[in-house]
Structure formats: C-alpha cells, structure tokens
Amino acid sequence: MHERGMSIRSLFAYFRFLRDSKKEVIIAIVLGIIYGLSSGFGVPAILKYSSSVLFSDREVRGIVLIFFSLLPVCVMLIRGITGFLSSYYFAACGQRIVEALRMMIFQKIQRLHLGFFNSCPPAELISRSINASTIIQNNLVDISHDIVTQPTALLGAIGYLVYLCIQESDLVILLLFLTALPLSILPIRNIGQRLRKKSGLMQSRTAAIIDRLNHNLAAVKEVRAFCLEKQEIDHYRRACHAFSEAFLKVVKYQLIVGPIVEIIAAMGIGFSMFYAHKQGLKLEIFISLATALYFGYDAVKRLGDLNNKIQGSMAAVDRIESVLSEPEEISDPSDPMPVGKLRGDIEFRDVTFSYLRHKDVLKKINVRMEHGKIYALVGSSGAGKSTFANMILRFFDVDRGSITIDGIDIREMLKCDLRRNIAYIPQDPVLINDTVCNNIMWGKPGATREEVIEAAKKAHAHDFIMQMPQGYDTLIGEDGGCISGGQRQRMALARVFLRNCPILIFDEATSALDVESQDAIYKAIKDLAHERTIIMISHRFTMMAVVDEIFVFSQGQIVERGTHRSLLDGDTLYRRLYEKSEII
C-alpha cells in the first residue's frame, strides 16, 4: 500500500513542470468544470423544462417554440466547446510535462556512471525514456481532463437527482443511485491493481522487442555470415508473442470495467423505468431522470477508465523513476578547484579499483607520466590497460588511492574541466549520421572550416574526404556505414588534432590503419609529443621504438616498465608477448 501511494505521488509530482503554465491550467480546469456541470446537471435540467413546455402545452408557437427547441442545442454546444477547449489545454499542459520529463531523463543519462549501462542496455533505456514517457503523456491528458470533468459531472448528476427528489418528495431513486455506486467502484479498484502489474510487464516486453531488433541491426553482417537468419527470426517471434500475451492481458483489464459499470447502470435505469411507471411520473420528469442517471453512471465508468490509466501510468512511472533515482557515483565536488588549461603531468598513487567490489581490476598502481612524453600500455586482454585509461578521464572513481594531474586530485575538478583537457579515441570510434565536417567538429564545436581541414590533413584524412561526392559536406550514413574502418579511425584522429588538448589517449586508435597511413600518423603524433602527454594502448610494435616508456600490465598490476629496447633484454613478459605477437 505504501509503494502504491508513493507511485501516485510520483505521478502527480510531475505537475510541478507546469509552474510556467498556470494560466493554461486555470483555463483548462474552469472549462472542465463547466463541461462537467453542463453534462451532469445542465442537460437533464434543460430536457426537463423544455419537454415540459413543448409537450404539456400543444399551443406553443413562434419564438417560444424555437427558444425551447434550441435550449438543448445551446447546452450541448456549450458542453462541446468547453469539452474541446478543456481537452486541448490539458493536452498542451501534458505535452509540456512530458517534454520536461524526457529532458530530465536524458540529462540524468548524461550524468550516470558507465557501470550503469552494463546493467541497463540501450534498448531498456529507450523503452523507459520514450515508450514509458509516451504512455504517461497519453494518459496524463485524459487523466487531467477526466479528473476535473468526471467528478464534476457526477456531482452535477447527484445534485440534480437531489433537486428532483426534493421537488417530487421522493428519495427512492436517489437512494438507489447512491447504493449502486459502491457496486461500481469495487470492481474498478480491484481491476486497477491488477492492471498496474500487467502494464509493467507489457512495458518490459516492449523493451525486449526493441532489444532484439537493436541486437539484430547491430550485427547484420554477422547474422548473414553465420546463417543465423532463422534463429534471429525465432528469437524475435518469441519476443513479439510474449508482448502480445502481456498486451492482451492489459486490454482485458482495460475493457472489462466498461461492461461491468454499464450492466450496473442498466439495472439502475431499468428499475427507474419500473418505478416511474408504478408512480405515474410525468414524461418530462422521467426523461430528465434517465438523463441524469446516464451521465452519473457514465461519469462512474469514465472514472473507472481513469483509474486504469493511473495504474498504467504508475507502471511507467516506476520504470522512469528507477532511472531518475539511480545514484550518480561520479559527481562534481561541492567546492571544485578552478582549472584552466592543464600542463599534463599525471600521477597514480596507490590506485586500486574494482568494478564488482570483490575483484580488483587495478591493484596499487604507482606511476608518473610527464608532460612532453609518449607512453604505451601493453599486456594481454583484461590486464587492466583500458581501465587505467578510463580512470584518467574519471569514467570511474578509484576505490583507494588518488590520481592527480599537475598535482591536483582529479576528484577536486569539475568533470567538464578535466575532460576538456583530454582527447580520447576508443578502438571503435562513434560517428553520427551527419556530414564529415560536423563529425570532425565533435572535437571542437564551433570550429572554422579551415581548422577542420587542417586537422583532417594532420590525420591523413583530407585526401579521401575530398574524393567523396560532396567533400566535407558528404553525409557518411548511420554510424559511418559508408566509410571503411581505417577512414573512420582517421576521422576520429582528426577530432583529436582539432581538439588540441594537453593529454591524448589512444585506445587501439590506429588498429584499422594501413601501414602507410599508420607511419604518417605516428610521425604526426611524435611531432605533437613535445607539448603533450600521450598515452597509447596498442598491440602494434612499429611505434614502440619511439615511445618514451612502456608499462606492461598483468592481472591489474604494472609488472614491468621501460623502453622497448630495455624490455626486450632478459626474460621479460614484454619479450614473451613480443615473440608471441600477443600485445593487445
């Protein structure tokens, strides 16, 4: 019960995003109240008095006849206009809430530590940030509208029944209506509780479909090469079937409320017809009575639908809140050290780190890297090289020890200040579906075309770019799908040259280059070394001879260090890796 209450508060807490839309909210509420009163009270009352005049006095002619004939039309016109405008304003407010919510989720994702993405895959995040927020958006519009109009319509109908019963000195019909209300509300409550669970299941099954599709599209070549088409189709069919089962359960609970309330309402109206006949009620009274009962039970039915939408929305809220409540392990300090452009002297002091808190990936690392030198990290896969580089960028925080740059602990800097001083190229750089120029400009947003071209020349990318159909204005396709792996790496290298940072980190960033391009880029990197700190993770030996110092990693420790020549002397791990060509 406590969890349910918390979720309801979480759902309505999003209305805080409407602080700047108070005028629209007030208009929507006022119009909704008018709509509800015109339904529950206005329509029955007008029908009573119009039918009383039109059918009791057959001599009515002219303006009077037209006036009383148009009264129901006027009430329905008011009801229609206020209903439309109220729905529109509530829709506008709902859209603003969801827009703010999506931005809040996206901003949160930018701050989450990288370990979070290992446990929550992209498909799940897409489902939570887009699908769940869309469910909230669609339901918020109806919830906001109905939460004003339907209680007002119900109260209007009850008010009219009270008025009618007092006028006719007969409380039987009112008591009948009020007795039937609990019979309508009880199934609504029970069904709503089940609906919330089924809605959560359906949303998780939606994420599973997105995950299967994303997995297939990311491995198009592998699926074809290993003839896995049938297997992938079977996986996707099972995901779709599981979603269909969950969807139908949700639909079952959504649709069952209406018939239950309608049956109860029909019983109430049927008894009213029987009672009206026995009591000899006038036709106009019976018409207005039946109309009031209809709007009253219709309001109850719509409130049942409203409860279902709230329960469905709470399932979506639970999924969104699980992201928004995720702790931000890598946070900025409350009193950061002001940092401009750093020199680039890096020191690890007794650094220990583990991803799972029970197995150290780095163990008591103590190294110092000086400005103006090139360092290489070598070792078998899983030895800790990439983790070492990630720690400098503060993608993760140390468990014990410290990392300093120019004597300042990186935890005392703002993350953006730290990362502005570092250019990082992963082994498989990401390219966006945009122009070549805009992809390179990731390294320095707002750079001039001349700066982009100069950076591309240093990365030996200018020649192949100029051979493209529109040169630097050529669209490269989704994730650079229309360029080769070597061209992709050279464009990523151009980002680094454009960024012009004091610290450069290359994580297998030249693995796809041909020998000629590799030699030219190594020369360009060497030319930059006198004014930067360069860290390279590489399995290629062509650069090792010009590296100032090599760190050899094994099981999370730096077991050897020195130059290429010194490490080849004697029985060293580096020599064994060199001879087996296993520097990875």
Clarify whether residues 363 and 291 are in a common domain: no
CATH code of the domain containing 513: 3.40.50.300
Q: Please check whether residue 332 lies inside any domain of the structure.
A: no
Residue 158: which of 171, 145, 148 has the closest Cα? 171
d(CA 367, CA 364): 10
- Tell me which long-range contacts 71-78 makes (C-beta under 8 A, separation of at least 24): 71/46, 72/43, 72/46, 72/47, 75/38, 75/42, 75/43, 75/46, 76/43, 78/34, 78/38, 78/42
How many angstroms separate the Cα of 506 from the Cα of each of 81, 150, 362?
A: 64, 62, 19
d(CA 113, CA 117): 8
Strand partners, 423: 504
Clarify whether residues 306 and 361 are in a common domain: no
User: What is the pTM assigned to this prediction?
Assistant: 0.66
- Profile the chain (584 residues) by mean pLDDT over runs of 10 residues: 47 69 85 86 77 63 71 83 86 79 81 74 72 70 76 82 72 62 63 70 76 73 72 85 82 71 68 67 72 76 73 72 77 88 93 82 92 89 88 90 94 91 83 86 88 88 89 79 76 85 82 65 71 84 79 91 87 83 50
Clarify whether residues 242 and 374 are in a common domain: no
* pLDDT at site 414: 92
The domain boundary residue, chosen from 292, 324, 356: 324
Quote the distance between the C-alpha of residue 464 and its chain's center: 38
Clarify whether residues 351 and 303 are in a common domain: no
Q: Please check whether residue 219 lies inside any domain of the structure.
A: yes
d(CA 94, CA 160): 32
Its domain, for residue 184, covers 2-324
CATH code of the domain containing 32: 1.20.1560.10
Torsional sign, CA 331, 334, 339, 345 = negative
How many domains does the chain contain in total?
A: 2
Clarify whether residues 318 and 350 are in a common domain: no
* pLDDT at site 181: 60
